[in-house]
Amino acid sequence: MTGRALLCLTAAVGTLVAGIASAQQSPKPLQFEVAAIKPGNTNHLGAVTSTKGKLFQMVNVPLKSWVEMGLSVPDYALKAPAWLDGTTFDLDAKLPEQFLNQTGPNQPVNEKAMAERQKAMAEMMKNLLIERFELKWHEVSGSVSGYELVTDKRVLAQPATLMERLRGPGGAGWGRSSVSGTNMPMSRLAELLGIALGKPVVDATHLTGGYDIKLAWRPDNDAELARQRQYEDGVDNLPDSAFTAVREQLGLRLQPAKVPAKVIVIDQINRQPTGN
């Protein structure tokens, strides 16, 4: 073999190795295997998300909440078209094996695993929004007034049962005046309270593990209060605010704090998704 031929062969091998290394360093984007999207029911009270085995479902969830989940940004730090909040969709999606292998029942159940699961779910939602709604955005830095979630005199929130912990993170439901879920870490509770209050809430309880949460209070909006009275009994007996409910029902407290936050600005999102 001549020197020139050897040089060409060496270059080719180098290119091949570099290509293999590049492929290994760029894993396939995490996506739902199947995702069926249909319009939500605007008369349905509240929004619900749940995971059952390989199936991930969202019922009557505003498109704004899809964006918040996909970009891991709460309502108070999202600048988006107003119509996103009033446009709801349902989602039936099949979770990929890659996700199940990383976060399934055979994986350790702890806060780190919960955070990894949430991160993976966000990536799948983000990729779904980009593909089906042509989502585009940019990010700026800032800080906003918010709250810290701290323990009060006696914690009343109930830890998740052993079976719930073994099953992993449960589903969560939330509305304008309620938060509920099973095996929910305090960081997730703080996040959902932030959504309900429209201001950032950070977890400063130092409580580990998951908790079963059932939190409800009277809406401060007269129209929403009248609407809830049509569907539920005892609404007038609920605490008058989220602050009172957190203290009386969970033994926790919300105290004012200055919270740094990234602000996401939506540049483009379609009103309707591409076909299923």
Domain residue ranges of the chain, discontinuous segments joined by +: 29-268
Q: Is 104 helix (H, G, I), strand (E, B) or coil?
A: coil
Entry pTM:
0.57
Q: Do 266 and 79 meet the contact criterion of CB atoms below 8 Å apart?
A: yes
Please check the confidence at residue 111 and state whether its pLDDT lies above 80: no
Please check the confidence at residue 22 and state whether its pLDDT lies above 80: no
Confidence grade of residue 159 (pLDDT, cut at 50, 70, 90): confident
Structure tokens at 27: 């894993």
Q: Do 268 and 135 meet the contact criterion of CB atoms below 8 Å apart?
A: yes
Structure tokens at 76: 């108070």
- Residue 218's Cβ-side half-sphere holds a number of Cα atoms within 13 Å equal to 14
For the residues 171-184, what does the mean pLDDT come to? 84
- CA-based Rg of the chain, rounded to a whole angstrom? 22
Please check the confidence at residue 83 and state whether its pLDDT lies above 50: yes
Lowest-confidence region among 1-5, 80-84, 185-189, 252-256: 1-5
DSSP string, 168-183: -S--EEEETTEEEEEE
Write down the pLDDT at residue 160. Answer: 83
Q: Do 60 and 44 meet the contact criterion of CB atoms below 8 Å apart?
A: yes
Lowest-confidence region among 14-28, 102-116, 131-145, 226-240: 14-28
CA separation for the pair 132, 73 (Å, rounded): 19
